[in-house]
Amino acid sequence: MDITSLFRKTFAAFALSIAALCLAQSAAPFKVAAVSSRPSLLFTDNEPVRIKARVEGGSGAVAVECIAKDSCGDWTAVTTLAIHRKGSEMAEAELPLKFPGRGYYKLELTAQCGDATARNTIAAGIVYQPLPATVSSPWGIMYGVYKGFPPGFNVKDRPACIAESMRMLGASWTRLNFWTHTYKVEVKDGVVVLDLSRMRQQVDEFRKRGINILGEIVQTPRVLSSKPEAAERKGLDAGPLYVRVKPADYKLWDQMVEQIAKEFKNDIQVWEVWNEVDYVGHYWAGTTEEYLELLEHTGAALRKGNPSAKVAAAGFTRNFKAAIPFFEAGFGKGVDILTVHYTEQRDGIPELQKLQGKYGLSLPIQNTEESIEIPLNNLSHGIRTFKFIHMLDDLPTLRPLMKTDWQLHAAAVTYSVGAQLIGDKTFRRVQELPGFKVYYFGEEGDLAVITPYSTPVRLMNGSGLERIKVKAIPAEGREMLGVDALGREGKLPGGEGEIHFPLNVTVFDESQDDAIPQVVFFIRNCKEIVSVEGVSSATKAIVVVEAEDGEFDRKSISVIADKEYSGGKYLNISRKEAPGVEGYGVDLKMNVPADGNYRVCFSGNSLSRLAAPASLSSFEWSFDGGPKNLAGGKALKARRYGIEGAPAGISELGMVHLKKGPHVFRLRLTAPREQPDQNWALWIDSIALVPVQQ
């Protein structure tokens, strides 16, 4: 009998004895949660980990069981406790948990009160004690629009909790967006009157902890807008049209910007002007010339309010072709720092430097939005990078560090490891080995960081990189240590050994985190890596069929070659005209290995784009001419990211029962998309059948 089964039997008897003490159930629902003095269960490795079980509702004494599991490895701890109370009041008691060290852990709570049972699952993280915040640090986190806060915490404490969380994860910088809802502005007798109290509080909390701030002027308040009645929106978080156009009166605009800069002149020395202006029609809906006029006025007003302020612009996306009109029109005048987004994955910095040279510019570059936790390419170019994003429920492809209810993703722990081990060490060189790149930081013999670039990492069939075998030359007189992506250290005697990848490729395991952390390995006290060998996990019993291998109308559906997608290709449907009798779609032959229930998973576009207003076509799917299931009407969020061959993630369509043998999966589009046009549009890459464990 394993330890979990033994504890479960003991807990059942324990719960029965507690149940005898319970009073009648109250009308309030019975709930259990794991809580701490912080809104997220985030701790450093030099402090005690104190987590309490909180119960609400029900009535009377409660028995609580907590199963704590390491996200990588066999460590499991099962604890029980009794919470004594007479009525239905909220009550807490500390869980007697002892974690083995740094890492990312899942806590499964079960509480029993009379006949009522409550369950909850939450993540906890233990990270390095962060290095002191410095101006020279390349580690930043983008501050988002915070909507959520856990029960039991005063919302007035949220600014302090935000700053504390960023600092605990190792950030020395934050990008602070001055969205129009974060301050109040009025015009009285031709004078701009501002209320900046909300931003003042947040800025103070950041500065108390030494966090440096890059402020961003990003929207036009309605009262100053040249189109104040234009309320239509453009998806994402761009806001109504009136915030995305130039001001009506630059005298008033300049007053506002000058006041903001003056208010924060002791706190914010770098100001970014707007966001992704080359993303046509979204965050900036004006012309190129209008933006350059806005940039000139804003820069001058910032410097008038704070003569030492530096001006950064314009958050160009990694498609630098879209930025060319801005360079051709004279972008760069009055700008101190060039800001860009998402250059890491394709190492876009050299391309951007070449583009600058073409137009006679040599501005220093910062990346103010990046999805990757540890941006090794950016760091190798000396680029400060702001992780997108601290906290968000949407846009999971961009790998937020937490959810808006403050639950941790594993990505947060990985970010903290990079901020600790790399810190502001100087990049020295890069080394290429078969299937891997090695980045060296610090003095010789200090730190090597290994990441795969052609070795299969995580595949649709469930297999992937499980661990690496390393041979290296240790720094003289020092013991070499291997560190995984969650901060667990192990000795590598003589410079040889293995490092496991935490949360490796159980990509369809319901217990795993949606945002699987970046595949990266650290070697401390390493002079030179001699060889790296990747060891793959066994292929899971998952059926994967490539869309390009199916039957489809080749006159109306294109096969697109793209190495980022499974099989190096995907099907592209993009048609203005309505389909014929057969419809737009594909039929796929699938051979099922055994009778059973299977989850049907889709790779191609992220199906979160089915949310209204849909930017993809809804579609039906079925097996063997059976019932048709609609994918549409509400968003199907892609649930798994960081999977090689599925850059937009994997979305679960539903569950089916299939017999062993051949089957035909059919997909047909049912309607044109709503935006940005009325095309019938969808990318289809592959379909996977994932067996449901009984």
pLDDT in tens, 540-596: 778 999 999 999 999 999 999 988 888 889 999 999 999 999 999 999 999 999 999
Q: How many domains does the chain have?
A: 4
Please report which confidence band the pLDDT of residue 505 belongs to, taking 50, 70 and 90 as the band edges.
Answer: very low
Is residue 652 included in any domain, yes or no?
yes
Together in a domain, 395 and 439: no
DSSP string for 625-687? T---EEE-SS-----BBSBTBBTT-EEEEEEEEE-SEEEEEEEEE-S--SSSS--EEEEEEEE
Q: Which of 60, 92, 127 is the last residue of a domain?
A: 127
pLDDT digits (tens, 9 = 90+) for 32-91: 999 999 999 999 999 999 999 999 999 999 999 999 998 877 899 999 999 999 888 999
What does the pLDDT look like over 322-375, one tens digit per residue? Answer: 999 999 999 999 999 999 999 997 789 999 999 999 999 999 999 999 999 999
Residues spanned by the domain of 94: 3-127
253 and 347 in a common domain: yes
Report how far apart the first and last C-alpha atoms of the chain are (Å, whole number).
Answer: 20
127, 152, 186 - which closes a domain: 127
Q: Do both 559 and 520 map to the same domain?
A: no
Do 272 and 385 sit in the same domain of this protein? yes
The helix/strand/coil state of 378 is helix
Does 171 have pLDDT greater than 70?
yes
One domain for residues 553 and 517: no
Q: Indicate whether 154 belongs to any domain.
A: no
Q: Given pLDDT bands bounded at 50, 70 and 90, which one contains residue 9?
A: low
Statement to judge: residues 548 and 565 lie in one domain: yes
On whether both 550 and 472 belong to a single domain, the answer is no
Domain boundary, last residue among 473, 504, 536: 536
Instruction: Say if 195 falls within a structural domain.
Output: no
* Residue 196, pLDDT score: 97
CATH code at 216? 3.20.20.80
Mean pLDDT of the chain: 90
In a domain, 379, yes or no: yes
Judge whether 548 lies within some domain. yes
Q: Do residue 313 and residue 402 come from a single domain?
A: yes
DSSP 8-class letter at 415? H
With cut-offs at 50, 70 and 90, classify the pLDDT of residue 192. very high
Res 22: pLDDT: 45
Task: Note the pLDDT tens digit of each residue in 660-672.
Answer: 999 999 999 999 9
Residue 395 pLDDT exceeds 80:
no
Structure tokens at 606: 């992220």
Angstrom distance (rounded) from CA 260 to CA 193: 11
313 shares its domain with 233: yes
Q: Over the stretch 238-290, which tens digit does the pLDDT of each residue have? A: 899 999 999 999 999 999 999 999 999 999 999 999 999 998 888 999 999 99
Q: Note the pLDDT of residue 346.
A: 79
| Residue 147 located in a structural domain | no
pLDDT for residue 436 = 94
CATH of the domain at 22: 2.60.40.2550
- State how far the Cα of 288 lies from the Cα of 81, in Å rounded to an integer: 64
Position 256 in a domain: yes
411 and 438 part of one domain:
no
Q: What is the CATH number of the domain that holds 644?
A: 2.60.120.260
Note whether 415 and 528 are same-domain residues: no
Q: Please indicate, yes or no, whether residues 272 and 348 belong to a single structural domain of this protein.
A: yes
What are the angstrom distances between the C-alpha of 467 and each of 151, 196, 358, 434, 451?
39, 50, 44, 15, 12
- In a domain, residue 165? The reply is no
